[in-house]
Structure 1
Amino acid sequence: MRMAKTASLGSLIAVVLLAGGGPASAEEVPPANTDSTVATAPPDQPEETDLVEGGVSDTPAPAPPAGEDAEASMPSARQCLEGWFYYPTSKTKDYHKGVGVEQANHNGTSRTAKSTFTSEVSGTVGVAATGEVKVSLKQVVAEEEVKFGVTLSASLTAKIGNTISVDTPSRKTTYARYGVFRLKSYGYSQYTYYNCYKGTKKNSTIYTPRRVGWAIWES
């Protein structure tokens, strides 16, 4: 057997393992379903070309609207908590953000062999976003957890030294990448005024850290 690292994967048959092996950290929660999923490529990467890592922050209150939205500054018998709020609308799937380089092991024998991979660097992966997100990371995570019934984090750290072992079939190459799985979701930010009038919706797409783990595939 020979060990190698690869940066260009070509056309591969991917088998994605959702959680890391070896010593577990607090962030590494085993998935409920450990069935492998066969695909024709490594784990999908975000499609957005304007995706910004850490693109979420508090935004000052907008000026009172004018023209057609002048009603926002009119007195009202109702009172609401004024400020920016985030409203998640839907989610898709997890996308893997790698930490460090991809690793590979080719089995040139006539028998199934064991491939062992170890993370060589550590790194922290946070929220990434496209569009306009007007609230804090804490609010985004809290609203998504309630809406989707999942556990998320503002950031997760993939640590050095985590190890996983998998079987590599004869004449096949197994590839591995350690990092963080992030949930892709859609939503919008909207400002609510003291009289309960709501401002313009600011749409966004957000990738929120969900769990640390390995992505494994073979060709």
Structure 2
Amino acid sequence: MRMHRLTLLAPAVAMAVLAGASPAPADDPSSAPIDTIATAPPDQPEEPDLVEGAPDTPAPAPSDAANHTGNMPDSRGCEQGWYYHPTSKNKDHHKGVVVERANHNGTSRTAKSTFTSEVSGTVGVAFSGELNVKVTVAVVESGVKFGVTVSASLTAKIGNSISVDTPPHKTTYARYGVFPLKSYGYSQYTYVNCGKGSKKNVTIYTPHRVGWAIWEN
């Protein structure tokens, strides 16, 4: 079954299977399938103050930078500026580039459901709080801290397909897009004498991989 752009279905709260797209282009991070069973479709980023995109340039220095003496100045000095410090990670969420599609099997036999993306879309970094560093800095620091591959943006491409079995009298749902990693950290200003400014908490979603979210009820 091909996906139709104007079909919008409410997510099902049932068994969910997250699967990488197949077949996938060589440069598509969804090339490795995932066999994770869940009890609901994957969450989508939904913080009320979530900002799409991230700074291309660091924020200005705090207003007290010129007079800041800090704690325990270091005679060697430090490179003054904003730094980002990741602290902990959550789970992968899923940002769809199209709305959910569905195929109902009204027969008494297992049927094959095939979903194909008819649009493409790019998902970038999103955050809430004060991310006062460049997006590239936050991406690199998050990848190093958590030992995962994350990017400033990933594109879910048109024409990517997946086929799954739909049991008798069940409905299979599909959503194609990008899985961002949700994590937490803080931005902090370091002064030339190595003193530290106040911590600015950040919740950040960094694109992790491209793929399909598949679930059924």
Question: Which runs of structure 2 are paired with 1:20-35 in the superposition (5 Å)?
Answer: 20-31=21-32, 34-35=34-35
CA pair 150-130 structure 1, distance change in 2 beyond 3 A: same
Q: Does 1:130 align with 2:131?
A: no
Deviation at 1:94, TM superposition (A): 0.2
After superposition, give the CA deviation of every residue in 1:143-185 in whole Å (9 maximum; x if it has no partner).
Answer: 0111000000000000000000000000001000100000000
Q: Secondary structure at the match of 1:138?
A: helix
Partner of 2:45: 46
Q: Does 1:106 align with 2:100?
A: no
Partner of 2:171: 173
Query: 1: distance between equivalents of 2:113 and 2:13?
Result: 17
CA pair 10-211 structure 1, distance change in 2 beyond 3 A: closer
Match of 1:196 among 189, 194, 197: 194
Deviation at 1:100, TM superposition (A): 1.5
Ranges in structure 2 where 5+ consecutive residues have no aligned partner:
none
Q: Does 1:9 align with 2:7?
A: no
After superposition, give the CA deviation of every residue in 1:104-140 in whole Å (9 maximum; x if it has no partner).
Answer: 1111111001000000100100000000000001100
Query: 2: distance between equivalents of 1:75 and 1:11?
Result: 57
Deviation at 1:11, TM superposition (A): 4.3
Q: Secondary structure at the match of 2:119?
A: coil
CA pair 169-193 structure 1, distance change in 2 beyond 3 A: same
Query: 1: distance between equivalents of 2:135 and 2:3?
Result: 40
* Percent of residue pairs identical: 63
Deviation at 1:52, TM superposition (A): 1.2
Deviation at 1:30, TM superposition (A): 4.1
Query: 2: distance between equivalents of 1:15 and 1:2?
Result: 20
The aligned amino acid for 1:129 is F
Query: 2: distance between equivalents of 1:208 and 1:2?
Result: 30
The aligned amino acid for 1:48 is E
TM-score, scaled to structure 2: 0.90
The aligned amino acid for 1:160 is I
Query: 1: distance between equivalents of 2:35 and 2:24?
Result: 21
Query: 1: distance between equivalents of 2:3 and 2:152?
Result: 35
Query: 2: distance between equivalents of 1:172 and 1:75?
Result: 66
Query: 2: distance between equivalents of 1:155 and 1:2?
Result: 27
Match of 2:214 among 213, 216, 219: 216
Partner of 1:60: 60
After superposition, give the CA deviation of every residue in 1:40-60 in whole Å (9 maximum; x if it has no partner).
Answer: x32112341111111444212
Query: 1: distance between equivalents of 2:132 and 2:53?
Result: 13
TM-score, scaled to structure 1: 0.89
Partner of 1:19: 20
How many equivalent pairs are there? 215
Question: Which runs of structure 2 are paired with 1:61-80 in the superposition (5 Å)?
Answer: 61-65=61-65, 70-72=68-70, 77-80=75-78
Deviation at 1:95, TM superposition (A): 0.3
CA pair 10-207 structure 1, distance change in 2 beyond 3 A: closer
Query: 2: distance between equivalents of 1:49 and 1:117?
Result: 31
The aligned amino acid for 2:18 is L
Q: Secondary structure at the match of 2:143?
A: helix
